[in-house]
Amino acid sequence: MNRLSYREYAWGHDELKPISKSFSEWFGLGLTLIDSLDTMWIMGLKEEFAEARSWVEKELSFDKNVDVNLFETTIRILGGLLSCYHLTGDQLFLDKAKDLGSRMMPAFKTPSKIPFSDVNIGKGTAHPPRWTSDSTVAEVTSIQLEFRELSHLTQDPQYQVWTANHHRNIRKVLPGKYDGLVPMFINTNSGQFSHKGVFTLGARADSYYEYLLKQWIQGGKTEDELLEDYLQAVEGVKKHLVRQTGPGRLTFIGELSQNRFNPKMDHLVCFLPGTLALGAHSGLPPDHMDLAQQLMETCHQMYRQMETGLSPEIAHFNVQGSEALIAVLQPADRHNLLRPETVESLFYMYRFTKEAKYRDWGWDILNPSRILPVS
């Protein structure tokens, strides 16, 4: 399939299905197209960008009866539109972003101010997932950058106010926090953590930690409470979750469940090397960069040690053996969702250190055949 396949088989739809030469929908809002706008602009693909902009102008409408996930829609569509506005200065993208942001406000109208996970952008209604009254901590704490920026650009404080309210609630010393680490779920009615005693930097908690640092930087490094929470969390990670394999010494981040350690690391955790490096670059302790470099090597090995050259969704590490090997993978983990965490971390590491190996590792991920054994 060439680069025109999305244009030919899935134009304006959420995702391309390359084998069947068709498409699938999640929200019906052109996710792939909007995700790609800033990339096309940066890469100078002017003809493709103009065509995509025309679709946004003429076809993209948020006035539709559809439930969308607040978090995914914020980081992918709202974030994509805001990024494109910053790059181009084109008012179209800011107008679309404001329309979408306003339509997602009903998600924040809960008893606890912890937002619902899903919102109907046409009806103006919101609700938790069908199976629970809980929201995922990572989702409700990883929308602030975009909404804060929307308030800044529109001079309308409502977007920042709503997101600040629930983040302030989580910052309280709620039962369940542990040395800066937070559980994975929070109840939208009570505002209290649920499923306590489980701590991970993987799915359902990961970007809570990432957004603490990035909000602090976004706010001009003036919001001390965000920095305090981030530094405390890093210390909690080092104290409770950092481990090493055998003599080969791969450093990894495990999970804690009811005080029992599990040497399991999601690919999602590979956001952490880049985040630690960004913090060190922003004046935080130098040992953050040391840990970043160690974890970057591990994330690289999660690709390198696989026959396909692609990381599994989850890796289990061998802390007993004589080699720095990833243990046998679970059948359910033997897939790669093209997640961006490792590549983003490699981008930060190369920019801050100028070490060519990080750029080379990124190229290996893009072209895994370069590192596969030749038969």
* Neighbour count for residue 85 (Cβ, 10 Å): 22
| 145 and 88 fall within a common domain | yes
Closest C-alpha among 368, 245, 370 to residue 297: 245
CB-based contact 264:328 (threshold 8 Å): no
Residue type, position 272, single letter: L
> Is 219 part of a structural domain of the chain?
no
| 74 and 143 fall within a common domain | yes
Top pLDDT among 131 and 21 is at 21
Residue 141 in tokens = 């704490």
- Distance from C-alpha of 150 to C-alpha of 186, rounded to nearest angstrom: 25
| 328 and 264 fall within a common domain | yes
Average pLDDT over residues 210-226: 96
| 246 and 365 fall within a common domain | yes
Q: What percent of the chain has pLDDT over 90?
A: 78
* Neighbour count for residue 44 (Cβ, 10 Å): 9
Please tell me what DSSP assigns to residue 330.
P
Rama region for 188: left / alpha / beta (φ>0; ψ in -120 to 50; rest): alpha
pLDDT band at 1 (very low <50, low <70, confident <90, very high): very low
> Is 217 part of a structural domain of the chain?
no
- Distance from C-alpha of 182 to C-alpha of 170, rounded to nearest angstrom: 9
Average pLDDT over residues 142-161: 95
* Neighbour count for residue 239 (Cβ, 10 Å): 12
Last residue of a domain, one of 43, 60, 77: 60
| 6 and 92 fall within a common domain | no
pLDDT band at 163 (very low <50, low <70, confident <90, very high): confident
| 102 and 160 fall within a common domain | yes
- Distance from C-alpha of 99 to C-alpha of 344, rounded to nearest angstrom: 29
Average pLDDT over residues 275-284: 98
Strand partners, 265: 315
3-state secondary structure 217-267: HHCCCCCHHHHHHHHHHHHHHHHHCEEECCCCCCEEECEEECCEEECEEEH
> Is 211 part of a structural domain of the chain?
no
Average pLDDT over residues 163-169: 75
Give this prediction's pTM: 0.92
Top pLDDT among 320 and 180 is at 180
pLDDT tens-digit map of 43-62: 999 999 999 999 999 999 99
Top pLDDT among 38 and 2 is at 38
> Is 210 part of a structural domain of the chain?
no
* Neighbour count for residue 365 (Cβ, 10 Å): 21
Residues 6+ apart with CB under 8 A from 197: 176, 183, 257, 258, 259
Residue 345 has pLDDT above 70, yes or no: yes
CB-based contact 248:320 (threshold 8 Å): no
Query: What's the pLDDT at 113?
Result: 85
| 293 and 339 fall within a common domain | yes
> Is 304 part of a structural domain of the chain?
yes
Domain of residue 79 covers 61-196
Query: What's the pLDDT at 367?
Result: 85
Report, as residue numbers or ranges, the catalytic residues: 72, 206, 313, 341
| 277 and 336 fall within a common domain | yes
Average pLDDT over residues 72-77: 96
Residue 97 has pLDDT above 60, yes or no: yes
What secondary structure does DSSP assign to 143-185, as a single string? SHHHHHHHHHHHT-THHHHHHHHHHHHHHS--TT-BTTB--SE
Query: What's the pLDDT at 323?
Result: 62
Closest C-alpha among 262, 245, 242 to residue 323: 245
Mean pLDDT across the chain: 92
Query: What's the pLDDT at 9?
Result: 95
- Please report, for residues 226, 265, 269, the alpha-carbon distance to residue 203 in angstroms, rounded to integers and kept in the order given: 21, 10, 8
Query: What's the pLDDT at 322?
Result: 60
- What is the Rg, in whole angstroms, of the alpha carbon atoms belonging to the chain? 21
| 229 and 370 fall within a common domain | yes
| 159 and 18 fall within a common domain | no
Query: What's the pLDDT at 132?
Result: 80
Phi, psi (degrees; rounded to nearest 5) at 62: -100, 0
Query: What's the pLDDT at 307?
Result: 87
Last residue of a domain, one of 12, 37, 60: 60
> Is 216 part of a structural domain of the chain?
no
Residue 276 in tokens = 């630690």
pLDDT tens-digit map of 349-364: 999 999 999 999 999 9
Give the end-to-end CA distance of the chain in Å, rounded to a whole number. 25
Closest C-alpha among 90, 62, 65, 72 to residue 32: 72
> Is 238 part of a structural domain of the chain?
yes
| 31 and 149 fall within a common domain | no
- Distance from C-alpha of 280 to C-alpha of 213, rounded to nearest angstrom: 11
pLDDT band at 371 (very low <50, low <70, confident <90, very high): low
- Distance from C-alpha of 331 to C-alpha of 117, rounded to nearest angstrom: 29
- Distance from C-alpha of 349 to C-alpha of 355, rounded to nearest angstrom: 8
| 47 and 72 fall within a common domain | no
Please tell me what DSSP assigns to residue 316.
E
The distance between the two most distant Cα atoms of the chain, rounded to a whole number of Å, is 61
Q: How many domains does the structure of the chain reveal?
A: 3
> Is 121 part of a structural domain of the chain?
yes
pLDDT tens-digit map of 115-150: 999 999 999 999 988 888 888 999 999 999 999 999
pLDDT tens-digit map of 318-341: 887 666 566 667 888 999 998 999
